[in-house]
Amino acid sequence: MSNGPGLLHGRLGLAASRIPHADRHGLLWLEYGKLSVEDGTLRFVAARSETLDAGDYAIPYQAVSMILLGPGTSITQDVLRLCARHGVLIAAVGEGGVKSYTAPPLGQGRSDVARAHAERWADPKRRLDTARRLYAWRFGRVLPHRDIETLRGIEGARIKESYKLVAQRFGIEWHGRRYDRQNPNAADLPNQALNHAATFVEAAADLAVAAVGALPPLGFIHEDSSNAFTLDIADLYRVDLTLPLAFGAVRAYRDGDADHLEREVRRRAAKLFRQEKLIPRMIDRIKELFDVDDRGGDA
């Protein structure tokens, strides 16, 4: 088997994966190749890409918690069987991890995060305390308010002002947030870009929530959506990541440096997610939120 730069001979090293080693085991990004089973181990025959040299690689699945299959990948049924037997999650994702096309099984054979999540959500006081903790991370300080509607109102005003300030920073004319779920592309360019950027960040949150085995429907701030908790996590990054991502893409499109708005947001998101190690950061935040320490098993 051949070896790529920085990789052990014949083995796909986790340290060189596109989405860095983050969980107790690791997340491994693969693209443009075929994943199969040979002699009881995973084999990935790769074409050359930004991430990996062309070659034939053995994957140490015992040290992997989730395999993210990017564009141009295919797998055999034996891969699904082997990964299911050993608790390795598989998710099909878009370029750079900015889309999530599958919902993998929860966790890695562990229930600590799910139990902590359910216990906090089921207790009204602990549910509010958890929501206040999420808001504290957004604001950089703990707010004294203990009414969820008051907290939502304060956050709404903050976000409204953040839209205006970030738009000004990028020289974008801003007329307010408008979103038509039935026709997302009907809005003006800044709102279209925000729709795309929010979708991409939510996809990253989907993967982080699945990786740790948290419960998507049980949100602490969001309530009605089937992925309410995913939205709770994605919103932690709205001001610092989602808004600059969207308005930066609009600026590039307006200045003639990009010829397609959604493609520009996608390209920037893929690069930013790698640079910021977004999914691993989200994983760490979820564990911190539930006070789960996976160095020694259950918290």
Asked whether the predicted pLDDT for residue 288 surpasses 50, the reply is yes
Which positions make up the binding site for Mn(2+)? 155, 222, 235
Q: Is residue 42 part of a domain?
A: yes
Render pLDDT for 106-123 as a digit per residue (tens, 0 to 9).
Answer: 555 678 899 999 999 999
Looking at residue 84, what is its pLDDT? 82
How far is it, in rounded angstroms, from Cα 100 to Cα 67?
A: 12
187 and 281 in a single domain? The answer is yes
163 and 284 in a single domain? The answer is yes
The number of domains in the chain is: 2
Of 63, 92, 121, which residue sits at a domain end?
A: 92
- What would the two tokens of residue 131 be? 């929501």
Q: How confident is the model at residue 14 (pLDDT cuts 50, 70, 90)?
A: very low
117 and 64 in a single domain? The answer is no
Asked whether the predicted pLDDT for residue 5 surpasses 60, the reply is no
Q: Is residue 4 part of a domain?
A: no
Amino acid, single-letter form, for residue 289: L
Which positions make up the binding site? 155, 222, 235
72 and 147 in a single domain? The answer is no
Looking at residue 100, what is its pLDDT? 82
Strand order from edge to edge, sheet including 55-59? 55-59, 41-46, 33-38, 73-75
Render pLDDT for 234-245 as a digit per residue (tens, 0 to 9).
Answer: 999 999 999 999
174 and 231 in a single domain? The answer is yes
Q: Is residue 244 part of a domain?
A: yes
Across the range 4-29, mean pLDDT stands at 45
Render pLDDT for 146-167 as a digit per residue (tens, 0 to 9).
Answer: 888 898 899 899 999 999 999 9
Q: How confident is the model at residue 9 (pLDDT cuts 50, 70, 90)?
A: very low
Check which CATH number belongs to the domain holding 225 and give it.
Answer: 1.20.120.920
In 47-93, the DSSP E strands lie at: 55-59, 66-69, 73-75, 89-92
Q: Is residue 22 part of a domain?
A: no
82 and 128 in a single domain? The answer is no
148 and 282 in a single domain? The answer is yes
| Phi and psi torsions of 93, nearest 5° | -130, 165
Asked whether the predicted pLDDT for residue 25 surpasses 80, the reply is no
78 and 173 in a single domain? The answer is no
173 and 81 in a single domain? The answer is no
**Least confident range of 41-45, 91-95, 238-242, 276-280:** 91-95
Render pLDDT for 181-196 as a digit per residue (tens, 0 to 9).
Answer: 666 666 789 999 999 9
73 and 115 in a single domain? The answer is no
**Quick check: 191 and 179 in contact, CB under 8 A?**
yes
The Cα angle at residue 159 between residues 157 and 163, in degrees rounded to 5: 120
Q: How would you classify residue 187: left for phi > 0, otherwise alpha for psi between -120 and 50, otherwise beta?
A: beta
How many residues would you count in the chain? Answer: 299
Q: Provide the pairing of β-strand 89-92 with 66-69.
A: parallel
Asked whether the predicted pLDDT for residue 6 surpasses 50, the reply is no
78 and 166 in a single domain? The answer is no
Q: Is residue 133 part of a domain?
A: yes
Percentage, residues of the chain above pLDDT 90: 51
Check which CATH number belongs to the domain holding 61 and give it.
Answer: 3.100.10.20
How far is it, in rounded angstroms, from Cα 52 to Cα 41?
A: 19
Looking at residue 282, what is its pLDDT? 94
The overall average pLDDT reported for the chain is 84
Percentage, residues of the chain above pLDDT 70: 85
Q: Is residue 281 part of a domain?
A: yes
Q: Is residue 39 part of a domain?
A: yes
**Least confident range of 13-17, 87-91, 207-211, 229-233:** 13-17
Q: Residue 45's domain spans which residues?
A: 27-92
132 and 226 in a single domain? The answer is yes
Composition of the chain by helix, strand, coil, percent to 5: 50, 10, 40
Q: How confident is the model at residue 4 (pLDDT cuts 50, 70, 90)?
A: very low
Asked whether the predicted pLDDT for residue 200 surpasses 50, the reply is yes
Burial class (CB within 10 angstroms; exposed 0-12, middle 13-18, buried 19+) of 189: middle
Reported pTM: 0.76
Q: Is residue 97 part of a domain?
A: no
**Quick check: 132 and 142 in contact, CB under 8 A?**
yes
Looking at residue 212, what is its pLDDT? 87
